[in-house]
């Protein structure tokens, strides 16, 4: 599929911690595409230092409006790889923009996501930073709720990459 891109943008979608930023950089390097991160562009648009700060000061709906504007602007361009925020799939209008390009869902087991997030902390991820308690357990609980709500939205992606939980596999060998 990637050899028939015709300069179209590539959008990486998936839950927080699924590796969208890392994979975007790799694909960008391989294809010689510019790499963008919709969270970073939203921060720049809002003139705020972090997504967490945007949520805190203006609320989630405000962030989602900016996120849609960012995706709309990007959809007019070519030869970009975009790491989207984990919730970018929820608003149907965003799919109108992302369907101008090719979308790839990085589908990673919840255990692996929760482990990665627990390792880096939840401070930069406002949706996960709400409750107290063990970071792994609370990340796992919230991610389970999110995948339940968003499964169909992620499934709109053109390509689904189901990634194994390598660490878990190794542990069982
Ligand atoms: C969100 C994911 C975050 C960020 C915001 C909301 C979500 O992006 O956009 O905190 O709703 O899943 P990452 O997936 O890059 O962490």
Q: Ligand 1 test: best mutation among 12, 35, 39, most atoms within 8 Å of CB?
A: 39
Q: Which residues pair with 11 in a beta bridge?
A: 82, 103
Report the C-alpha gap between 48 and 124 in whole angstroms. Answer: 13
Contacts of 11 (CB under 8 A, 6+ apart): 82, 84, 98, 101, 102, 103, 104, 157
* Residues having CB within 6 Å of any atom of ligand 1: 16, 20, 39, 51, 85-87, 125-127
pTM: 0.93
Report the C-alpha gap between 143 and 63 in whole angstroms. Answer: 19
What order of strands is seen across the sheet that includes strand 80-83? 34-37, 80-83, 10-13, 102-107, 159-162
- The interface predicted TM-score (ipTM) is 0.98
77 CA to middle of ligand 1, Å? 23
Domains detected in the chain: 2-109+157-163 (3.40.50.300)
Terminal-to-terminal C-alpha distance of the chain: 34
> Tens digit of pLDDT per residue, the chain (173 long)?
667 789 999 999 999 999 999 999 999 999 999 999 999 999 999 999 999 999 999 999 999 999 999 999 999 999 999 999 999 999 999 999 999 999 999 999 999 999 999 998 888 888 887 777 888 998 999 999 999 999 999 999 999 999 886 666 665 54
């Amino acid at each position: 599929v990637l050899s028939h891109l015709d300069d179209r943008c590539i959008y990486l979608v998936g839950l927080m911690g699924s590796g969208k930023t890392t994979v975007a950089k790799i694909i960008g390097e391989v294809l010689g595409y510019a790499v963008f991160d919709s969270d970073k562009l939203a921060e720049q648009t809002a003139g705020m230092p972090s997504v967490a700060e945007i949520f805190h000061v203006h609320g989630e709906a405000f962030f989602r409006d900016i996120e849609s504007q960012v995706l709309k602007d990007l959809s007019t361009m070519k030869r970009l790889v975009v790491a989207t925020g984990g919730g970018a799939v929820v608003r149907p209008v965003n799919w109108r923009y992302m369907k101008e390009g090719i979308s790839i869902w990085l589908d990673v087991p919840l255990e692996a996501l929760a482990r990665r997030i627990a390792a880096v902390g939840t401070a930069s991820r406002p949706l996960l930073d709400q409750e107290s308690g063990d970071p792994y357990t609370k990340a796992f609980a919230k991610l389970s709720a999110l995948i339940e709500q968003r499964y169909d939205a992620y499934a709109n992606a053109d390509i689904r990459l189901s990634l194994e939980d390598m660490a878990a596999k190794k542990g069982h060998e």
